[in-house]
C-alpha cells in the first residue's frame, strides 16, 4: 500500500522505545537488594503487584521521590529513537499510541526527559501516583477485585494489550490505512494478532515476541508483515519508509 493518508504506530515501552526495563532499572540503580528480591519472587507474585511491593520497600528504606525520578531520567534511551519518532510525528499523518506494562509515572518522566511529552495520543499502562509521603503508589490497570479481561493468548492479568488496542480504535472512531507495532516481549503477541496484511510488527530480536512469532504465529493466524530489528537506528531506518 503506497497511498497512506492516516497511520497508527503503537509502541511498547520497555526494551522497545526505551533501551531498558523501567521496573528493574530503578532498583538496579538505587537498591540492588530489592532487585535481587524481585528476581526471587517474580514467579510467585504477579509482576505489577511485585513492583508495587518493591516501591513500598524502597520507600521504607528511605529512597526518595527525587532519587527515583533522577534514575528514570538517566535510563538508556537511544537518540536514534528520539529522531525516528519526532520526524515521523512531524509528517502529520501518524498517530502514536503507547501500550505498556510499565506505569504512568515511569513513562511520563522518561518522555519528559527526552522532549517527547506530546508524542502519544494515549498512554495505556498501569496507573501510578505519588503520595505526599513520597511513596509511589502503583496499581494494576485491570483491578484484581473487578471484572477481568478475557484474553486467552497469554497477556498478564494486569492488562490485555489486544483488548486495549481494540478499545482504543473504537474510541478513536477512525480507520487507519496502516498500523505498525514496535514491541519485544511475549505480551506484545496478542495485539498483533488483530493486524491485517497491510500492517507491520517491528519485532526486536532475541526476545519473547520473536520466539512467540516463530512458535505460534502461523498456528494463531498472524497476518501482518514482520520486520526485525536489534538497535534503535534500525527503527529510524524503517520509519523513514513509513
Identified catalytic residue from 3, 12, 188, 199: 12
Name the grid cell of 63. Answer: 529512597
Q: Is 43 a catalytic residue?
A: no
Q: Are 9 and 94 in contact (CB under 8 A)?
A: yes
Q: Is 12 a catalytic residue?
A: yes
Q: Are 35 and 24 in contact (CB under 8 A)?
A: yes
Q: Are 47 and 156 in contact (CB under 8 A)?
A: yes
Q: Residues marked as binding for Mg(2+)?
A: 12, 14, 184
Q: Tell me how far apart the alpha carbons of residues 101 and 99 are, in angstroms, rounded to a whole number.
A: 7
Identified catalytic residue from 3, 14, 121, 177: 14
Name the grid cell of 11. Answer: 509502541
Q: Which of 17, 143, 137 is nearest to 88 (CA)?
A: 17
Q: Tell me how far apart the alpha carbons of residues 159 and 143 are, in angstroms, rounded to a whole number.
A: 9
* Helical residues (DSSP H) of the chain, grouped into ranges: 22-30, 32-41, 47-60, 65-73, 79-90, 104-113, 161-172, 189-192, 208-216, 232-239
Active site residues: 12, 14
Amino acid at each position: 500500500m503506497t497511498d497512506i493518508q492516516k497511520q497508527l504506530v503503537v509502541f511498547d515501552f520497555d526494551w522497545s522505545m526505551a533501551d531498558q526495563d523501567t521496573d528493574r532499572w530503578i532498583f538496579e540503580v538505587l537498591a540492588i537488594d530489592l532487585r535481587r528480591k524481585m528476581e526471587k519472587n517474580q514467579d510467585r507474585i504477579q509482576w505489577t503487584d511485585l513492583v508495587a511491593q518493591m516501591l513500598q520497600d524502597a520507600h521504607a528504606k528511605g529512597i526518595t521521590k527525587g532519587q527515583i525520578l533522577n534514575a528514570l531520567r538517566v535510563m538508556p534511551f537511544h537518540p536514534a529513537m528520539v529522531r525516528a519518532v519526532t520526524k515521523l510525528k512531524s509528517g502529520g499523518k501518524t498517530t502514536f499510541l503507547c501500550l505498556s506494562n510499565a506505569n504512568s509515572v515511569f513513562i511520563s518522566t522518561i518522555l519528559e526527559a527526552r522532549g517527547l511529552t506530546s508524542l502519544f495520543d494515549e498512554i495505556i499502562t498501569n496507573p501510578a501516583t505519588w503520595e505526599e509521603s513520597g511513596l509511589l503508589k502503583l496499581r494494576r490497570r485491570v483491578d484484581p477485585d473487578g471484572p477481568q479481561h478475557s484474553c486467552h493468548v497469554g497477556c498478564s492479568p494486569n492488562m490485555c494489550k489486544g483488548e486495549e488496542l481494540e478499545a482504543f480504535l473504537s474510541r478513536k472512531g477512525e480507520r487507519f490505512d496502516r498500523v505498525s507495532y514496535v514491541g519485544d516481549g511475549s505480551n506484545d503477541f496478542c495485539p498483533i494478532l488483530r493486524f491485517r496484511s497491510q500492517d507491520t510488527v517491528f519485532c526486536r530480536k532475541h526476545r519473547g515476541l520473536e520466539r512467540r512469532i516463530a512458535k505460534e504465529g502461523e498456528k494463531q493466524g498472524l497476518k501482518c508483515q514482520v520486520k526485525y530489528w536489534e538497535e534503535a537506528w534500525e527503527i529510524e531506518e524503517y520509519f523513514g519508509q513509513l
